[in-house]
Structure 1
Amino acid sequence: MNQLTAWGKSIQFLLGLQNQDETLPDVKEIQIPIRNGNLRADWYTPKTKSLGTIVTINGLAPLGNRDPRFIIVNKSLSKLGYTVISPFFEEICDYKISLRNIDDIKDSILYISGKKEISPTGKVSIFAPSFSGSLSLIAASDKQIAERINTLCAIGAFTNVDDIIGNLFANQNLDEYGRMILLLNFLPLSIGENKSLFKAIKLAILDNYYKYKNNLLEPHYSKMKKADRDFFENLKYDSAFRMKHWEIILKKGGKNRNLLTALSVTNYIHSLNLPILLIHGTTDDVVPANESLLLHQKLVALGVECKLCITSLISHGDTGFSFKTLLEVPKLISSFSFFFLKAYDR
């Protein structure tokens, strides 16, 4: 594939993302063995000879690989001529943030790249938005995994997890969906177990995602103890209250501290050595675009082949690119052409 062809693929991809058809096509469902069981995955087969294999890693959303927006992405990549494997990462889809997330991504890459009928060359490329973009970067810092990857596209990824959590807790104007997911995972480190409270947080997240008319939270909320309801309201609306608990979490040592350290891409930068595309929305209300800018600067300084695109055409970790201003479209085309050129299996 030459540069001109890659530009054409990029234009075709961006046009494909404008398609509103969220119907799941006729895909083959396969099982991917991981160290903790199996993951189901959708296998999109192109109509022409495959240009290469792309593994798409879903973000923190309950529908995962079958989120309507992600189906459109997978179909668009397949229509370009790429084989697409899109696993359903159960832990990530259940809003569970842990080191297992990284292991599941690694195991998936090893299995998919090792199947000749899926990846004849033994290599894949990675397309991952949001939280999963950062997890994929961490997974790719493992030399054994990096050897199986042609290139990696991370959309709206973070560099330092401490900064992101602190920012979301402190700034009331930022995205509540992301904040509640972080509270669900890290607040137990401050207050311990409280089934009623954490159920309320989980239901609030699901209501935010599905946009239910009759929400799931209300029936449970009405039965909660007053103390738990007050605590929940403080979590939603009082940034000082949240920050007090974040400070408690940061003071914790042992496994708690190790998890936060292990989730920061910053700590793996020196082990990253493969072509990387970073895309970030200027108005991202979960992870500031400065995170990708900082990561790009560090990677380039280390001699890593890395391309950065900061654009107003997307929000946080989004996979739907709006053409609301044509001035930025050429930059997006150039960026994705970098990814498609590197993803091409020669």
Structure 2
Amino acid sequence: MDIAIAKRRIVPDWPGALALLFTHQRNLGDRIPLTVSHAGRPIDLYCPRGHERGTVVFVHGMSSRGREDPRVRSLAWALAATGRRVVVPEIPSIRRLTIRVDQPREVQAVLETIAADPALVPAGRFALMAVSFSGVFALRAVCSKALGGRVNAACLIGGYFDIDTVISFLINSNRSDPYGRLLIARSYFTDIEPRGEAFHHHLDRCIECSTANQPGWSLRELLDPAEPQQQQLYQLLSEPAERQAFCRQVMAAFDDDWADYRAPQEFGERRTPVFLLHGRGDRVIPAGESRRLARQLAEQGVPCHLCVTRLLEHGDSAISLYRLQELYRLLAGFAWFLGSCREPQTPRPAAAA
């Protein structure tokens, strides 16, 4: 599905989109970028060859490798191939695979610090790219007074519109990826309702197996029913009644301590173009979330382009070119995003007679 809405004229950057996708297929995730220290935080810089055509700040998703994740690096190098400087800051709390009360403020502060440094953002304006749950930080930055006027475009890959729907899917649906349910559990029982060391030890074991994507693994095989802590964790994550009760607890947290993880519903006068890219079979954040967000943006007159594709899954950068029937649509989406990154042209004054 593709939806494109724009009041501002956006000229697609087709050469840039082609360069991005072809570079992406080279799988440059092992190529090491330049790393600098900025306010005590490591930041990776991906510098294009030749003339720079702008800056993209990339907020990584919940991956144990953070900014060093090969998927992040592969996409960042692909963006650099379009002439953009790419800035990827390390966000330790996201890298630790946790949701925390202070995380939204932390990410906003990092983005503000980067935007204020001409050594990182020479033109003073930049595009934002964010993956998965980090998409909400990009939306909040676009809507903020501090950054809203400096963000010229945003790209959300696998983002969400309604956190309640996502949480219900992750916890209650048997179709969802257990990885998401496990991360929610660890964050909740760390930040909201702390549990003992043994409980977290067993929960971390489950997360490690899920992250490694070991074939045939299951919670029942990992958690011993004869041991009370392990059996309690198994029931919490597996039994329908326990899962529903846990879901209600988590939703209450998003109404209170975690309220800043709710996506903004009102964009005011902001007309920052937003590109929404989502894997059709995403089992962490369903593709319907990007569809709903696209409708919300359209209703408020925000330029947006939605592409739901079979060419990638959640957080996955392995775009399969053999599915040529979807390739054009993906190219069109990135061409639109790269075109929206350009600064609006100011009409030249009429020449004096």
Residue number among 259, 262, 284 corresponding to 2:260 in the alignment: 262
* Alignment RMSD: 2.7
Q: Give the Cα separation in 2 of the matches to 1:330 and 1:340.
A: 15
| Partner of residue 16, structure 1 | 23
| Residue identity matched to 1:322 | S
- Deviation at 1:279? 0.9
SS at 1:125 equivalent:
strand
| Partner of residue 233, structure 1 | 234
Alpha-carbon spacing, 1:77–1:293, altered in 2? closer, same or farther (3 Å) = same
SS at 1:178 equivalent:
helix
Alpha-carbon spacing, 1:262–1:271, altered in 2? closer, same or farther (3 Å) = farther
| Partner of residue 3, structure 2 | none
Q: Give the Cα separation in 2 of the matches to 1:190 and 1:47.
A: 47
Alpha-carbon spacing, 1:283–1:43, altered in 2? closer, same or farther (3 Å) = same
| Partner of residue 106, structure 1 | 108
Contact 1:138/1:268 (8 A) holds in 2: no
Contact 2:57/2:129 (8 A) holds in 1: yes
| Partner of residue 161, structure 1 | 163
Residue number among 1, 8, 14 corresponding to 1:7 in the alignment: 14
Contact 1:276/1:307 (8 A) holds in 2: yes
Q: Give the Cα separation in 2 of the matches to 1:306 and 1:143.
A: 21
Return the structure number with greater relative CO, CA threshold 8 A, min gap 6: 2
SS at 2:276 equivalent:
strand
Alignment of 1:46-195 (within 5 A): 46-187=48-189, 192-195=194-197
Alpha-carbon spacing, 1:271–1:168, altered in 2? closer, same or farther (3 Å) = farther
Contact 2:223/2:234 (8 A) holds in 1: no
Matched, 1:31 2:37: yes
- Deviation at 1:30? 1.9
Matched, 1:284 2:282: yes
Unaligned runs of 5+ in 2: 1-9, 345-353
Alpha-carbon spacing, 1:271–1:169, altered in 2? closer, same or farther (3 Å) = farther
Contact 2:11/2:340 (8 A) holds in 1: no
Alpha-carbon spacing, 1:310–1:249, altered in 2? closer, same or farther (3 Å) = closer
SS at 1:259 equivalent:
coil
| Partner of residue 314, structure 1 | 312
Contact 2:104/2:137 (8 A) holds in 1: yes
Q: Give the Cα separation in 1 of the matches to 2:157 and 2:297.
A: 16
| Residue identity matched to 1:88 | E
| Partner of residue 248, structure 2 | 247
Q: Give the Cα separation in 1 of the matches to 2:194 and 2:120.
A: 45
Aligned length: 332
- Deviation at 1:91? 0.4
Structure with greater helix share of residues: 1
| Residue identity matched to 2:239 | D
Q: Give the Cα separation in 2 of the matches to 1:146 and 1:79.
A: 26
Alpha-carbon spacing, 1:68–1:342, altered in 2? closer, same or farther (3 Å) = same
- Deviation at 1:93? 0.5
Q: Give the Cα separation in 2 of the matches to 1:102 and 1:272.
A: 20
Contact 2:101/2:191 (8 A) holds in 1: no
Contact 2:294/2:305 (8 A) holds in 1: yes
- Deviation at 1:116? 2.0
Q: Give the Cα separation in 2 of the matches to 1:130 and 1:283.
A: 14
Q: Give the Cα separation in 1 of the matches to 2:175 and 2:136.
A: 23
Q: Give the Cα separation in 1 of the matches to 2:157 and 2:174.
A: 23
Alpha-carbon spacing, 1:20–1:248, altered in 2? closer, same or farther (3 Å) = closer
- Greater shift in the superposed pair: 175-184 or 260-269: 260-269
Contact 2:104/2:260 (8 A) holds in 1: no
Contact 1:177/1:208 (8 A) holds in 2: yes
**TM-score (ref. length: structure 2):** 0.85
- Greater shift in the superposed pair: 193-202 or 86-95: 193-202
